[in-house]
């Protein structure tokens, strides 16, 4: 394995990481202000609206921060684990993808700031944004496709020149992640290109609203797995190396990723449980498929803790839980992702509640849901991504992580956990009391039910301010690491334990996995979508209600 | 694929719990009629809501002993009719459609929570056993004054 990271590849990776953290900073400012408005502690200057902040926060955090970070991280690991450098075409695709995504982001931000697209990051029709908002989104998606093609190309070439060899786990997982993304984004691409853009330009008068929502959620749910899988890659492949242990089982890791590919796409209707226009048989079927992701999640939990325990015992830990003590709690590269794992337990349990058919009525569109995804993506995923930069930046720049930076990293992680505990905890609670999500400050004429929500909204603002301090600290840490002392840092790619059984060949039978994925999608979506296309519900004209 | 014995035990427990859980959801949905909102109960031209019966006259009316029907229109940013009143113990069947964008229809402290999508008619029922002023709010972002969108149902 290479000891130094390819310099040209490093530039591409850094470009992605910096763009991601730039989005995190701006999105963080928007998020904090939004929390303070909602809490009733400030009113914004006349020309900034709550919903513009909300749109900016959602788009920058959920779409831009995540996508850029993920592509940067995957490219780094592909370069490292499959040949030591990216193939020229892969690198070119990566840069073209980066430029397209960045042009899209900039256009999108301008259109949002001009107030032409206060439609939030779900942009539900028939609220009609400027066509340039939709074009901006299309550019981001197309850019990410090109980056994905780069990874597929690199992987295919690697396999051709390493006939008979098992592909590196990191590369395999990168391919699954991007494959999931390519298939999922077909839904939103169809919505944007076939429905929204022509309608927004006025080439067609009306839009099929239920169909547009369905195409959006065809993408919207796998999106969360697109965030999660790279975090899982860190947990499966990187963390064992950081703690000085081994990967529990290569084949289990691959199988869990394959199951995520199967069960993350044909499930979007569970976001539409509370709306008419879809037969409840199909809703129930997709709820069932949604719950199937419990299986790879349990496999992952088992594998990770098996790694921790085996490693602890090999270091002489005794007793049922003695191995907990020997984990490197003082190492931010372990501590931040580990807190992410831990928080994923309540986060995942909350997800089961949300997807539970009838139980969804209790929480649908309340702040409970906002609390839920601030645990999943904004804590489990975000803390893992934060943990990654403490070794990725030193690896790429040929520097070392200093004890001071490590300590600041631990502090940043703790700040994040405390802020999120307060914010997400209040969101969950007040959501159960009925407070709606995505709603600016209002006491509903001082209605007693709404007055009861107010202290929780204030607590959310307090949590938001603490989290913003966390954002500032991670940005400071990122910049400081660029100036850390020179030195050699190894890219921490884990090795598989010797006791683990060899990985069966069929794990890389892509035709089989893609066929099963497509069949599941066809089973879950064909009839509901045909219903939507054939029903006689008249379409909707567009409205600008902001 | 080889699996550790403990992992098999762990997964079997997990999968069995999952099966029981899904079975309960299924029985509730199909056996006990507790399904989320269903397919097209009715269509309506979303641009002609004010001319289409019964939504041309949004109102709450008694349709049986302790049973009321509330025909409602959600619009940016409010609901018609407003306000409404029923006696304690009444069952209210809400029939709601939208005359513009997508709205929500949520009554905090109850399980009433449906989306109101233009072109579709959302139906949901609830029996109000306790007196009070029930808030009805929009919980789907619908525009600049989304947070103002509400009405009330007084239960006396």
Tokens representing A287? 């709820």
Select the more confidently predicted residue: A134 or B34: A134
B55 three-state secondary structure: coil
| A511 exposure class (CB count in 10 Å sphere: 0-12, 13-18, 19+) | exposed
Cβ neighbours, 10 Å, residue A513: 19
- Name all domains of chain A by residue range, CATH numbers in brackets: 7-534 (1.20.210.10)
Secondary structure letter of residue A93 according to DSSP: H
pLDDT value for A509: 93
Tokens representing A401? 């992580």
Between CA A532 and CA A332 the distance in angstroms is 50
Can A399 be counted among the known catalytic residues?
no
Beta strand residue intervals within A302-454, DSSP E:
none
Residue of A nearest to B7 (CA): A302
Q: Are strands B122-128 and B132-137 parallel, antiparallel or unpaired?
A: unpaired
Which residues sit opposite A316 in a β-bridge? none
- A434 contacts B108? CB cut-off 8 A: yes
Beta carbons of A163 and A232 less than 8 angstroms apart: no
Contacts 24+ apart (CB under 8 A), A31-35: A31/A57, A31/A61, A31/A464, A31/A467, A31/A468, A32/A464, A32/A465, A32/A467, A32/A468, A34/A464, A35/A423, A35/A460, A35/A461, A35/A463, A35/A464, A35/A465
Can A372 be counted among the known catalytic residues?
yes
B41 — pLDDT class (breaks 50, 70, 90):
low
Can A447 be counted among the known catalytic residues?
no
pLDDT < 70 stretches in chain A: 1-3, 46
CB nearest B41 (choices: A54, A276, A362): A276
Tokens representing A84? 């030591």
Phi, psi of A3 (to 5 degrees): -95, -25
**Considering only CA atoms, which of A148, A66, A72 is closest in space to residue A376?**
A66
Q: CA of B113, closest CA in chain A: separation in Å?
A: 5
Between CA A428 and CA A72 the distance in angstroms is 32
Residue of A nearest to B48 (CA): A538
Which residues sit opposite B128 in a β-bridge? B90
Select the more confidently predicted residue: A114 or B87: B87
User: Which residues in A lie closer than 8 A to residue B26 (C-beta atoms)?
Assistant: 284
Tokens representing A450? 């709404």
Between CA B96 and CA B84 the distance in angstroms is 14
pLDDT value for A1: 44
Cβ neighbours, 10 Å, residue A124: 18
Which architecture characterizes domain B42-155 according to CATH?
Sandwich (2.60)
Indicate which of A49, A126, A206, A276 best probes the interface with B, i.e. most B CBs within 10 Å of its own CB: A276
Domain boundaries, chain B: 1-35, 42-155
Q: CA of A36, closest CA in chain B: separation in Å?
A: 16
Between CA B122 and CA A277 the distance in angstroms is 9
pLDDT value for A501: 83
**Considering only CA atoms, which of A452, A65, A525 is closest in space to residue A266?**
A525
| Residue B130 CA: distances (Å) to CA of A115, A430, B27, B61, B90 | 44, 22, 29, 20, 10
Q: Are strands B84-86 and B150-155 parallel, antiparallel or unpaired?
A: parallel
Select the more confidently predicted residue: A2 or B11: B11
| Residue A417 CA: distances (Å) to CA of A224, A343, A369, A421 | 20, 9, 18, 6
Phi, psi of B3 (to 5 degrees): -130, 145
User: Which residues in A lie closer than 8 A to residue B30 (C-beta atoms)?
Assistant: 284
Secondary structure letter of residue A442 according to DSSP: -
Q: Is the pLDDT of residue B99 over 50?
A: yes
User: Using omega within 30 degrees of 0 as the cis cutoff, is the peptide bond preceding A529 cis?
Assistant: no
Between CA A115 and CA B51 the distance in angstroms is 33
Indicate which of A44, A166, A254, A274 best probes the interface with B, i.e. most B CBs within 10 Å of its own CB: A274
Q: Give the A:B interface size as CB pairs under 8 Å.
A: 213
| A98 exposure class (CB count in 10 Å sphere: 0-12, 13-18, 19+) | buried
Catalytic residue selected from A5, A225, A263, A468: A225
User: Which residues in A lie closer than 8 A to residue B138 (C-beta atoms)?
Assistant: 436
Secondary structure letter of residue B60 according to DSSP: E
Angle between helices A448-481 and A403-432 (to 10 degrees): 160
Q: Is the pLDDT of residue B59 over 70?
A: yes
Residue with the two structure tokens 């109960």: B41
ipTM, 2 decimals? 0.94
User: Using omega within 30 degrees of 0 as the cis cutoff, is the peptide bond preceding A215 cis?
Assistant: no
User: Which residues in A lie closer than 8 A to residue B142 (C-beta atoms)?
Assistant: 127, 545
Catalytic residue selected from A65, A373, A385, A468: A373
List Cβ neighbours of B33 (8 Å cut-off, separation of 6 or more): none
Contacts 24+ apart (CB under 8 A), A153-159: A153/A87, A153/A89, A153/A90, A153/A93, A154/A78, A154/A82, A154/A83, A154/A86, A154/A87, A154/A90, A155/A78, A155/A82, A157/A87, A158/A82, A158/A83, A159/A508
Which residues sit opposite B152 in a β-bridge? B135
Between CA A215 and CA A193 the distance in angstroms is 11
pLDDT value for A198: 97
| Residue A299 CA: distances (Å) to CA of A179, A379, A485 | 21, 21, 40
Between CA A346 and CA A88 the distance in angstroms is 43
- A450 contacts B135? CB cut-off 8 A: yes
Indicate which of B33, B115, B125 best probes the interface with A, i.e. most A CBs within 10 Å of its own CB: B115
B99 three-state secondary structure: coil
- What letters, b where the CB count within 10 A reaches 16 and e where it falls short, cover A129-163? bbbbbbbbbbbbbbbbbbbbbbbbebbeebbeeee
pLDDT value for B39: 60
Catalytic residue selected from A16, A154, A213, A221: A221
User: Which residues in A lie closer than 8 A to residue B45 (C-beta atoms)?
Assistant: 538
Can A457 be counted among the known catalytic residues?
no
Between CA A341 and CA A206 the distance in angstroms is 45
List Cβ neighbours of B50 (8 Å cut-off, separation of 6 or more): B56, B73, B99
Between CA A175 and CA A156 the distance in angstroms is 10
């Amino acid at each position: 394995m290479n000891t130094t990271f390819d310099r040209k590849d490093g530039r591409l990776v850094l470009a992605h990481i910096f763009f991601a953290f730039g989005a995190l900073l701006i999105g963080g400012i928007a998020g904090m202000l939004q929390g303070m408005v909602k809490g009733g502690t400030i009113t914004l200057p006349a020309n900034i609206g709550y919903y513009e902040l909300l749109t900016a926060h959602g788009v920058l955090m959920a779409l831009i921060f995540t996508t850029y970070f993920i592509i940067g991280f995957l490219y780094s690991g592909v370069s490292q684990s499959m040949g030591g450098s990216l193939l020229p075409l892969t690198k070119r695709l990566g840069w073209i993808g980066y430029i397209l995504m960045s042009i899209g982001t900039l256009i999108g931000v301008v259109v949002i700031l001009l107030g032409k697209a206060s439609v939030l990051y779900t942009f539900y029709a028939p609220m009609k944004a400027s066509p340039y908002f939709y074009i901006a989104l299309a550019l981001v998606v197309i850019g990410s496709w090109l980056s994905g093609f780069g990874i597929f190309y690199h992987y295919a070439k690697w396999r051709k020149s390493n006939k008979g060899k098992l592909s590196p786990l990191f590369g395999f997982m990168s391919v699954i992640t991007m494959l999931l993304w390519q298939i999922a984004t077909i839904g939103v691409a169809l919505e944007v290109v076939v429905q929204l853009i022509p309608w927004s330009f006025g080439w067609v008068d009306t839009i099929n609203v239920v169909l547009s929502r369905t195409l959006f959620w065809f993408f919207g749910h796998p999106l969360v797995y697109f965030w999660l899988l790279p975090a899982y890659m860190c947990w499966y492949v990187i963390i064992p190396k950081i703690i000085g242990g081994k990967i529990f089982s290569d084949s289990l890791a691959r199988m869990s990723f394959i199951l995520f590919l199967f069960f993350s796409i044909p499930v979007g209707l569970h976001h539409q449980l509370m709306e008419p226009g879809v037969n409840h048989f199909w809703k129930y079927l997709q709820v069932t498929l949604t719950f199937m992701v419990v299986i790879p999640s349990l496999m992952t939990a088992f594998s990770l803790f098996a790694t921790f325990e085996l490693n602890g015992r090999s270091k002489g830990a005794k007793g049922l839980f003695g191995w907990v003590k020997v984990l490197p709690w003082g190492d931010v590269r372990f501590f931040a992702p580990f807190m992410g794992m831990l928080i994923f337990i309540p986060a995942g349990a909350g997800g089961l509640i949300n997807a539970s058919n009838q139980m969804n009525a209790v929480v649908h569109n309340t702040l409970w849901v906002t609390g839920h995804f601030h645990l999943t993506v904004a804590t489990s995923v975000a803390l893992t991504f934060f943990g990654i930069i403490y070794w990725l930046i030193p690896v790429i720049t040929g520097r070392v992580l200093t004890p001071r930076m490590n300590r600041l990293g631990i502090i940043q992680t703790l700040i994040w956990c405390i802020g999120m505990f307060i914010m997400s905890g209040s969101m969950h609670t007040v959501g159960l009391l009925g407070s709606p999500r995505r709603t600016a400050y209002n006491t509903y004429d001082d209605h007693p039910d709404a007055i009861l929500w107010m202290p929780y909204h204030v607590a959310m603002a307090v949590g938001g301010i603490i989290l913003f301090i966390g954002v500032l600290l991670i940005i400071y840490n990122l910049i400081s690491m660029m100036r850390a002392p020179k030195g050699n840092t190894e890219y921490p790619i884990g090795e598989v334990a010797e006791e683990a059984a060899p990985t069966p060949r069929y794990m890389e039978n892509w035709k089989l996995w893609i066929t099963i994925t497509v069949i599941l999608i066809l089973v879950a979506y064909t009839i509901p979508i045909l219903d939507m296309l054939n029903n006689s519900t008249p379409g909707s004209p567009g409205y600008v209600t902001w | 694929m080889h699996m550790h014995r403990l992992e098999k035990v762990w997964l079997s427990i997990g999968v069995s719990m999952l099966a029981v859980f899904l079975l309960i959801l299924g029985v509730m949905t199909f056996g006990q009629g507790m399904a989320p909102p269903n397919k097209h109960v009715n269509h309506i031209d979303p641009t002609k809501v004010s001319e289409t019966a019964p939504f041309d006259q949004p109102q709450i009316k008694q349709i049986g002993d302790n049973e009321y029907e509330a025909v409602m229109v959600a619009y940016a940013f409010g609901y018609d009719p407003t306000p409404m009143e029923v006696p304690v113990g009444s069952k209210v069947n809400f029939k709601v459609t939208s005359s513009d964008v997508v709205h929500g229809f949520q009554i905090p402290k109850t399980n009433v929570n449906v989306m109101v999508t233009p072109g579709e008619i959302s139906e949901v029922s609830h029996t109000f056993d306790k007196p009070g002023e029930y808030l009805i709010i929009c919980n789907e972002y619908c525009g600049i004054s989304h947070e103002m969108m509400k009405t009330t149902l007084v239960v006396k």
